[in-house]
A = this chain, B = another copy of it.
Amino acid sequence: MKAEVYFTWGEVNEALVDKRTVVVMDVIRATTVIVEALANGARGIFPTESTDEAARLASSLGREETLLCGERRGLKPEGFDLGNSPAEFTPEVVEGKQLIMSTTNGTRALLAAEDASRVLVGAFLNLSAVAEAVGGEENLVLLCAGKDQHFALEDALCAGALLMMLTREREDLTLNDAARVALDLARRYPITADTLRSTSAGEALTELGLERDLELCASVDRHAVVPEMKERRVYLPNPRKRSQGSGRRTP
List chain B residues, Cβ under 8 A from A184: 185
- Asked if A199 CB lies within 8 Å of chain B CBs, one says yes
- Asked if A64 CB lies within 8 Å of chain B CBs, one says no
Q: Tell me whether A199 and B177 are in contact in the complex, defined as CB-CB below 8 angstroms, given that A11-B149, A150-B11, A151-B7 are known contacts.
A: yes
A146, chain B: closest CB distance, angstroms: 9
List chain B residues, Cβ under 8 A from A116: none
A47, chain B: closest CB distance, angstroms: 22
A26, chain B: closest CB distance, angstroms: 14
CA distance A147 to B176 in the complex (A): 11
CA distance A152 to B179 in the complex (A): 11
- Asked if A10 CB lies within 8 Å of chain B CBs, one says yes
* A10 and B10 contact, CB distance less than 8 A: yes
Of A150, A156, A184, chain B has the most CB atoms within 10 Å of the CB of: A150
CA distance A177 to B5 in the complex (A): 17
Q: Tell me whether A152 and B181 are in contact in the complex, defined as CB-CB below 8 angstroms, given that A7-B7, A10-B10, A11-B10 are known contacts.
A: no
Q: In chain A, residues 4-30, which have Cβ atoms closer than 8 Å to a Cβ of chain B?
A: 5-8, 10-11
- Asked if A180 CB lies within 8 Å of chain B CBs, one says yes
- Asked if A191 CB lies within 8 Å of chain B CBs, one says no
Q: List 18 A-B contacts (CB under 8 A).
A: A5-B151, A6-B150, A8-B8, A8-B11, A10-B10, A11-B149, A147-B177, A150-B177, A151-B151, A151-B178, A153-B177, A153-B180, A156-B181, A176-B200, A177-B199, A177-B200, A181-B181, A184-B185
Given contacts A11-B149, A156-B181, 16 further A-B contacts (CB under 8 A): A5-B151, A6-B150, A7-B150, A8-B8, A8-B11, A10-B10, A10-B11, A147-B177, A150-B177, A151-B151, A151-B177, A151-B181, A153-B177, A177-B199, A181-B181, A184-B185
User: Which 10 pairs from chain A and chain B are nearest by CB?
Assistant: A153-B177, A151-B178, A11-B149, A177-B200, A7-B151, A151-B177, A11-B150, A177-B199, A152-B177, A176-B200
